[in-house]
Chains A and B, each alone.
Chain A
Amino acid sequence: MAITLAPKDFATATPAWWCPGCGDYGVLSALKSALAELGREPKDVAFVSGIGCSGKISGYVNAYAFHGVHGRALPVATGVKLANRDLTVIAAGGDGDGYAIGAGHFLHAVRRNPNITYIVMDNQTYGLTKGQSSPTSAAGYVAGTSPQGNPDAPINGLALALAAGGTFLARGFAAQPKKLVALLKSAIEHDGFSLVEVMSPCVTYNKINTFAWFKENTFDVESLEGYDPGDRTTAFATLSAEGKIPLGVLYRDARATFEKLLHLPEQPLTSLDLLAKRTELGALAEAYR
């Protein structure tokens, strides 16, 4: 029986406490719509987030939510998925959480390709600690910890993920709710690791990469004639090109999931009878006679 769900079924009693106008509201709203439209019940959704303004999002979605330590959302989400592959597992965090402190896990999650969705809410700054430069801040970005300009080149998360073997790479914009819902739905339905980077402007600290700036400096790859998300070379070229930031599904590919390559049983590990096969278990000792 199909279950009809509405975004409000994913609402929590706790209101979101982001700054008025924050891009993260757009991500939250789009995610609730995507889950409702896909008919994923709150009880079957595990939502893991990291630390930072964006990390607070797991507290605003009615689901089995896990708000862990900084940078480790992906390992937690991987553990949840392997334990119960029937769950819809989503991880979310900011550019600092994913591309700085969690960068190692990011690459390894991409290459493993577990069937989880990762939303990186990119505001190009550290908001919760009041505006330091982040791994996606432009070189030269002036902030409290980089008064003479950010000395680091920005990280291109999608290009990194493509190099690491990513199978679903998309970028959305918090101010384009309909497109974002569609991207998130495709990502959740993708059989494998899906990365959705969302341009989510910080209205308080980032005075450069504003909503207006993003409107001016982004374009949708659907506007490119004959753009083929299955073409890796084109995806690389598009992601690496100077100039406007590409939005949309940049790349998609089919590759065996981590679950499959680990030969994980079809049923969730949580449903196993822990006292099964006691005879075989006892027989293991024979090798130690």
Chain B
Amino acid sequence: MIVNDLEIMFGGQAGDGSLTTGDLIALLFKRMGLEVYTYKDFPSRIRGGHTNYVIRAGTTRGYGIADAVDGLVAFDLETVEAHVAEIRAGGFVIFDSTSEQVPRELRRRDVTWYDVPLARIAKVELGLELVRNTVAIGVLAAVLGMDGAAVASEVGAVYRRKGAKVVDLNLAALAAGEAFVTRYFSEWPSGYALERRPDGERLFMMGNDAIAYGALAAGCRFMAGYPITPATDILEWMAKHLPDYGGVAVQAEDELAAINMVLGAAFAGVRAMTATSGPGQALMTEAIGLAGVLELPVVVIECARTGPSTGMPTKTEQSNLNHLIFSGHGEIPRVVLAPGTVEDSFYLTARAFDLAERYQCPVFVLTEQALAQSKATLPLLDVDSVRVDRGKLRLEPVVFGDYQRFALADDGVSPRVIPGVAGGMHLAAGSEHDPSGTITENAANRTRMMEKRMGKLEAMRADLPRGIVHGDPAADIALFGYGSNRGPIVETLDRLTRAGIPVRFFEFRTLWPFPEDDVRAFAADAKAIFVIENNYTGQLERLVRYVVGPLPHMHLVNKYDGRPFRPLEIERAIAQHVALRAPAMPEPARTKGRL
């Protein structure tokens, strides 16, 4: 019997409610006291096309998806075809047998099959096919042996605002699902159990919501953006909440306008940001160079997805790292932060605003679809801990003629005035300029101004979020990674550690300026180094290699199919180079058929 550790996948057609059902069951698991991570694998369209929603529930916070699917809830045959091979031996399938049957060749013998006419039960017994999803939750709850009263209470709470009629209907649907299991499957245990634990003081939040919340807490009062998956949630969140705090969110006509509005607002003195994904980021590149040379504090949230071009808009990838660090004509100081959890998405975004104002340069927060649009359980956020440090902002009058907006300084950061401040009038020009702002092509001045701006990269070093070292810092096996890979990497580390194989993991939180000293210190004396990332070329691995040198024992572990790592994939990659004394993990069947 496997207790409190499972991965459930809901699958069906886009628009048929599998995502909503997934949200509901994920919340249910959270309320039952489990640690939850969700991953949405949906097509880039509104109706039709296979979609699935993965819910990982367990007792350890911060893990990502598991090695395999434990329970598949399939609303159609296509879901079975696509995912039956991903089910762990000993797992189960709940299949809506109303209008389709699973052919014999797909019926894996090592999996328990629960054929339930979900839609028919909903239509015949409850008079509304729409509640099929709730019937499925009833079936799942029964199969997992969940406390029926607790499930009913939570489902009732979710539907309460829709009125008593809707609540009653859904409770009846739950009961119908449970009754069907009791009636037909009481002799067929799933082998899984879910036992209630105290929910405690926790939140359940999506990465994008945490980013927006962090921005609001940090005093961001202006946002401009253009809808783009998977970043749109942030603009919607800000549009909803910013006005309550005196701010404003603007839906611009394109990303060029969005970033230039942000520059304008930042120039005028408001904490401002935009959020986008690869294609939009590409369009913003020129203006970000302008922000660098105008020394404007702007925050750009990059929710990476699969590229190039349109790529797979709803799938995850870490292929925009090079773009954030190196894109643009000319050279500017910039910061790239990368949270590894929903919780850190809040704190690092808040921190981004301070860094942007303290060093008067663009700051990126890099996340990716598998974190940005995933929900996870997290401890309560400490909103009061968020500081607002506006750096060298000067609001009192200055002496016109003496004041120099781009004055040379040891740390490269000049006192900054904003429109309305008497005496501070100046030209902020994308053309090279002298400390006063006057445009000039003088060679000596050019050299000085380049050194002033680029010098910020060194000046800010001590102020940047440090990476986190997980595991045994003296372990022979050393791993590097960032972002959503933190979950599967930490799970791999925990598993190997339990098996007596120590592992160390450096989780980057600042990717630029590259934390060379920390990387060098961490990698020193490691016997085998693995850089784990979701892209083809090994963008992070190249940065690490540049710092620690070409080492024969350094390996790239990469994946670029648009899906996040499963821990077993990382473990296998390590095992190719290091003899792991860990007990052999069960071999999950390879995915076959349509994906």
Q: Is B245 in the interface zone, CB < 8 Å from A?
A: yes
Chain A residues with CB under 8 Å of B258's CB are 75
**Interchain CB contact under 8 A, B420 and A269:** no
Bound complex: CA A46 to CA B241 (Å): 28
Q: Once the chains bind, are A43 and B270 in contact (CB under 8 Å)?
A: no
Q: Is the CB of B423 within 8 A of A78?
A: no
* Chain A residues with CB below 8 A from B205, complex form: 288
A59:B427 contact, CB within 8 angstroms: yes
Among the 9-residue stretches B2-10, B212-220, B522-530, the one with 4 or more Cβ atoms under 8 Å from chain A is B212-220
Q: Min CB distance, A106 to chain B, in Å? A: 10
Asked whether any CB of chain A lies closer than 8 Å to the CB of B282, the reply is no
Contact, CB under 8 Å: A42 / B425: yes
Chain A residue at minimal CB-CB distance from B428:
A66
Of residues 416 to 445 in B, which have CB atoms within 8 Å of A's CB atoms?
Answer: 418-431, 438-439
CB distance from A123 to the nearest CB of B (A): 21
**A2: CB under 8 A from chain B?**
no
Q: Are B380 and A270 closer than 8 Å at their CB atoms?
A: no
Residue of A nearest to B346 (CB): A285
A83:B204 contact, CB within 8 angstroms: no
Is A64 in the interface zone, CB < 8 Å from B?
Answer: yes
Q: Mark A261-289, 1 if CB is under 8 A from B, else 0.
A: 01111001110101111101110110011
Q: Is the CB of B250 within 8 A of A262?
A: yes
Sort chain B's interface into a size bin. Answer: 35 or more
8 Å CB contact of B222 from A59, A83, A281, A282:
A83
As a 0/1 sequence over residues 67 to 89 of chain A, the CB contacts with chain B under 8 angstroms (1 = contact) are 11101101111111111101100
Tell me if A134 counts as interface (CB < 8 A to partner B).
no
Enumerate chain B residues within 8 angstroms of A65, measured Cβ to Cβ: 425-429
B161 CB to nearest A CB, Å: 12
B203 touching A83 by the CB < 8 A rule?
A: no
What is the CB-to-nearest-CB distance from B291 to chain A, in angstroms, rounded to a whole number? Answer: 10
User: Once the chains are docked, how many angstroms separate the CA of A199 from the CA of B266?
Assistant: 33
Q: A268-B268, A270-B269 are in contact. List 4 more A-B contacts (CB 8 A).
A: A43-B423, A82-B250, A269-B246, A269-B248
Query: Can you list 28 A-B pairs, Cβ within 8 angstroms, ordered by A?
Result: A43-B420, A43-B422, A43-B423, A58-B429, A63-B425, A64-B425, A65-B428, A65-B429, A66-B428, A67-B430, A72-B260, A74-B257, A75-B256, A76-B264, A78-B264, A79-B262, A79-B264, A79-B265, A80-B267, A84-B269, A268-B268, A269-B270, A274-B219, A275-B219, A277-B245, A285-B203, A285-B380, A285-B381
B271 at the interface (CB under 8 A from A): yes
With an 8 A cutoff between CB atoms, is B128 at the interface?
no
**Interface contact A274-B388, CB-CB below 8 Å:** yes
A269–chain B nearest beta-carbon distance, Å: 5
Complexed CA–CA distance, A216 and B243 (Å): 53
Mark interface residues in B516-556 (1 if CB within 8 Å of A CB, else 0): 00000000000000000000000000000000000000000
User: With an 8 A cutoff between CB atoms, is A14 at the interface?
Assistant: yes
Which residue of chain A lies nearest to B260 when distances are taken between CB atoms in the complex?
Answer: A75
Task: List chain A residues, Cβ under 8 A from B250.
Answer: 78, 82, 262
A285 to B212 CA separation, bound complex (whole angstroms): 12
- B507 interface hit (Cβ, 8 Å): no
Per the bound structure, the CA–CA distance linking A284 and B202 in Å amounts to 14
Q: Is the interface of B mostly helix, strand, loop or mixed?
A: mixed
B267 interface neighbour in A72, A76, A104, A277, Cβ under 8 Å: A76
Closest 7 pairs (CB-CB, A-B): A79-B264, A274-B219, A83-B268, A75-B260, A79-B261, A64-B419, A76-B264
- For residue A84, which residues in chain B have a CB less than 8 angstroms away from its CB? 268-270, 418-420
Q: What distance in Å separates the Cβ of B9 from its nearest Cβ neighbour in chain A?
A: 23
Tell whether B463 is near chain A: CB-to-CB under 8 Å.
no
Is A187 engaged at the interface, CB distance under 8 Å to the other chain? no
A17 CB → nearest B CB, Å:
9
Interface residues of B in 7-55 (CB under 8 A from A): none
Q: Does B587 contact A (CB under 8 A)?
A: no
Give the residue of B219, B265, B271, B438 whose beta carbon is less than 8 angstroms from that of A80. Answer: B265
Complex contacts, A78 vs chain B, CB 8 Å: 250, 257, 261, 264
Cβ of A64 and Cβ of B424 under 8 Å apart?
yes
Asked whether B269 lies within 8 Å of A79 as measured between CB atoms, the reply is no
Contact between A66 and B264 (Cβ–Cβ < 8 Å)? Answer: yes
**A43 touching B424 by the CB < 8 A rule?**
yes
Q: Is A105 an interface position by the 8 A CB rule?
A: yes
Which A residues touch B70, using CB under 8 A? none
A114 vs B250: C-alpha distance when bound (angstroms)? 12
- Taking the closest CB of chain A, its distance from the CB of B211, in whole angstroms, is 13
Of the candidates B254, B384, B427, the one having the most CB atoms from chain A within 10 angstroms of its own CB is B427
Query: Residue B418 contacts which of A12, A45, A270 (CB distance < 8 angstroms)?
Result: A270
Q: A151 CA to B253 CA in the complex, in Å?
A: 28
Given contacts A43-B420, A64-B425, A276 and B245 within 8 Å (CB-CB): yes
Known contacts A80-B419, A282-B383; is A67 also within 8 Å of B427 by CB? yes
CA distance A209 to B260 in the complex (A): 33
Asked if B302 is an interface residue, CB under 8 A from chain A, the answer is no
- Asked if A189 is an interface residue, CB under 8 A from chain B, the answer is no
In the complex, A281→B244 CA distance in Å? 10
Distance to closest chain A CB from B394 (angstroms): 13
Within 8 A of A (CB), among B243-293: 243-248, 250, 252-254, 256-258, 260-272, 286-287, 290
Binary CB contact string for chain A from 232 to 269 against chain B (1 if under 8 A, 0 otherwise): 00000000000000000000000000000011110011
B420 engages A68 (CB within 8 Å): no
A119 at the interface (CB under 8 A from B): no
Residues of chain B lying within 8 A (CB to CB) of residue A43: 419-425
> Measured between alpha carbons, how far is A281 from B350 in the docked complex, in Å?
13
Q: How far is the CB of B35 from chain A (nearest CB, A)?
A: 15
Give bound CA distance, A108 to B219, whole Å: 28
Q: Find out whether the CB atom of B253 lies under 8 angstroms from the CB atom of A105.
A: yes
Whether the pair A105, B256 counts as a contact (CB closer than 8 A) is: yes
CA A262 – CA B243 in complex, angstroms?
9
Known: A274-B221, A288-B204. A262 touches B260 (CB 8 A): no
